[in-house]
Amino acid sequence: MNLYLIALLPPQTIREEVKSLKMEMRDRFDASHALKSPAHLTLFMPIKRRGEEEGEINRCLNDIANNQSAFQVELNGFDCFPPRVLFIKVVDHQPIIRLRNAMISHLIEKLNFSPREIGLRFHPHLTIATRDLTEEAFHRAWPEFKKRTYTSEFKVDKISLLKHNGKNWEVFTESLFKPPQFI
């Protein structure tokens, strides 16, 4: 069984900015787990599937993407899920939630996603520290990060499928949204 993650990735420039924040968390607060993946907005938590199912997963994501229009994501500031997670805030969750909701029936019908794989809780964000951030380090880091500024924005025009290689998450495939219609 392989481990896959369905996500939205910002452009490389933002990924590098977020990576430097993750490296700061590693160096200053001994929290390196977030460095195992590129900066991303998780649409669905990791799923386990056989390698033979990759073609069907790609077809399903392509079908979904072909019916989606690009949208903007604005990032502004930091937030947290106490006592272990720090992240960059997404200003408007609605376009991401709409995309995720549009995906759910496809994933259930075509890929047999279970209710657990769909998940109930959903809060779009770009993680900079998670899991190995101790509670003590969280209480040192959060007062500083809640005062910091970070702003950026990017266009979402594809769904990314990441695959775990045993150590890290890597971009496996990308499904492009439909091209803009010109009249």
Cis peptide before 95 (omega within 30 of 0): no
For tokens 């077809």, the residue is: 59
The per-residue pLDDT for 20 is: 98
Asked if residues 57 and 49 have their Cβ atoms less than 8 Å apart, the reply is yes
Question: Domains in the chain, please, with CATH?
Answer: 2-176 (3.90.1140.10)
Model confidence over 54-104: pLDDT tens digits? 999 999 999 999 999 999 999 999 999 999 999 999 999 999 999 999 999
Q: Which pLDDT tens digit goes with each residue over 135-167?
A: 999 999 999 999 999 999 999 999 999 999 999
* Residue recorded with tokens 């993407």: 65
| Burial class of residue 132 (count of CB atoms within 10 Å of its CB; 0-12, 13-18, 19+) | middle
- Which structure tokens are listed for 51? 């390698």
**Residues recorded for the chain:** 183
Residues contacting 48, CB < 8 A, separation 6+: 1, 2, 3, 4
Q: pTM for the full model?
A: 0.95
Closest to 10 measured CA to CA, from 122, 162, 156? 156
